[in-house]
Chains A and B, each alone.
Chain A
C-alpha cells in the first residue's frame, strides 16, 4: 500500500474519532506533498487536505439518523486534469470508510492558477 494512501486512511480514521469539530480551528490533515520518487502517483503538483467541518444532521448516504454525525471534506488540487491517481485513491478510501455517505461536491478549474479542484463531502458517525 503506497505511503500516501496509508496517510489518507489514517487521516480519515483520525477524523472519525474526533470528538468535536471546531469551526474556528477545524481538524485538518494535510496530505503529504509529492516527492521525487513518486513517479506514478501523485504527481509533483498535487496536494490536498482532509478536514472535519461541522456536526451534520444525519448521515446523507443512507439517510440514517444517528446520535452524532459529522460532515467533513477532502480537497484535492492538481495540475493534472485526471488528478494524477489521487481521485481514484480518495474515492476508494471514502467508499471503504464512509460507505455511501459521500459525494463529489465541487469540481472546478482555476483559470488563474491552472489547478483543477475537487471537493468531496463525506459524513461519518461521531
Chain B
C-alpha cells in the first residue's frame, strides 16, 4: 500500500532550509564581530596600562621597563579585529597587530607586532607586561556573552519563515 502526503509550503521550507547555512554564517559573523570588539577594546585599555621608564641599555642580567616611545608605538598602531575567515557556517577571526606595519625605534626599523610581543612577553633585557594576554583572558566572559547576545538578537533571521 502506498500513500502520498502533500504539505503545503514544503517547497518553500526546503528552500529556506537550503539558505540556512548562509544565514547562520551571516548571523555568526555579526555576533562574532561584536564579541571580538569587546576583546579589542580590552586590549586598547591594556595598552594604556603599560608602565614605562626612560630608555636605557640593560646589561649584566638587568632588565628595564618598556620605554615611553615603545608604548606610544604600540598604543598608536593599527590593531583590532582581523578579516573574517569563513568555512561553511564556521567563522573565525583574531584580535591583534597582524597588519600593524613597521616603526622606527632607536634608529632601527622594526615590525610593530615584534615590539608589542616584546612588551607582552618580555625579553632577557626587558620586563614583560602581559597587557595583551591579560586583556584576552579577562575579556573572555564578556566576549562570549556579547556573542551569545548577538545571536539571540538575530534569531528572527534564522527563522525559516
Contact = CB atoms under 8 A, between A and B. Distances in A.
Size bracket of the A interface: 20 to 34
Report whether over half of chain A's contact residues are helix, strand or loop; otherwise say mixed. strand
B124 A119 contact: no
Contacts, number: 51
A67 B137 CA distance: 15
Contacts of B52: none
Report whether over half of chain B's contact residues are helix, strand or loop; otherwise say mixed. helix
A117 B137 contact: no
Contacts of A125: none
Contacts of A57: 137-141
B138 A106 contact: no
A54 B140 CA distance: 14
Interface residues of B, number: 16
Contact of B133 (A58, A65, A112, A121): A121
Given A56-B137, A58-B141, A106 B124 contact: no
Contacts of B128: 75, 119
B124 A117 contact: yes
Interface in A103-126: 105-106, 108, 110, 112-113, 115, 117, 119, 121, 123
B123 A105 contact: no
B121 A54 contact: no
A106 B128 CA distance: 12
Contact of A106 (B117, B137, B140): B117
B33 to A, nearest CB: 20
Contacts of A56: 137-138, 140
6 contacts: A57-B141, A73-B130, A73-B133, A105-B121, A106-B117, A117-B123
